[in-house]
A = this chain, B = another copy of it.
Amino acid sequence: MFAPAYLDHNATTPLDPRVLEAMLPYLGSRFGNASSRHEYGRHARQALDTARQQVAAALGAHATEVVFTSGGSEANNLFIKGAAAFLRPGLVALGATEHPSVREPARQMRRAGWRLEEMPVHDSGLVRTEGYTRLLQEKPTLISLMLANNETGVVQDVAARAAEAKAAGGRGWFHTDAVQALGKMALDFRALNAAGVHALTVSAHKIYGPLGAGALVLDKRVELAPLVAGGGQERNLRSGTENVPAIVGFGLAAELAVARLSDAVAGMLRQRREIEAGLANLGARIFGAAAERLPNTVFFGFEGIEGETLVGHMDRAGFALASGSACSSANPEPSHVLLAMGVAAEVARSAVRVSVSRDTKGEDVQRFVEALGAEVRRLRSLSAMAA
Contacts and interface: CB of A to CB of B under 8 A. Distances in A.
Interface of A: 1, 3-4, 6, 8, 11-15, 20, 23, 27-29, 31-33, 35-41, 70-74, 76-77, 85, 99-105, 107-108, 111, 205, 210-212, 225-233, 239-246, 308, 311-312, 315, 319-323, 326-331
B326 A33 contact: yes
Contacts of A232: 100, 328, 330-331
Given A27-B210, A32-B12, A74 B311 contact: no
A229 B108 contact: yes
Contacts of A107: 229
Given A33-B326, A38-B320, A12 B241 contact: yes
Interface centre among A15, A27, A104, A319 (most CB of B within 10 A): A27
Contacts of A1: 29
Contact of A211 (B28, B71, B241, B319): B241
Contacts of A104: 226, 229-230, 239
Given A13-B31, A230-B99, A241-B327, A312 B20 contact: no
A246 B212 contact: yes
Contact of A35 (B38, B205, B326): B326
Contact of A77 (B8, B38, B101, B228): B228
Contact of A230 (B13, B20, B77, B308): B77
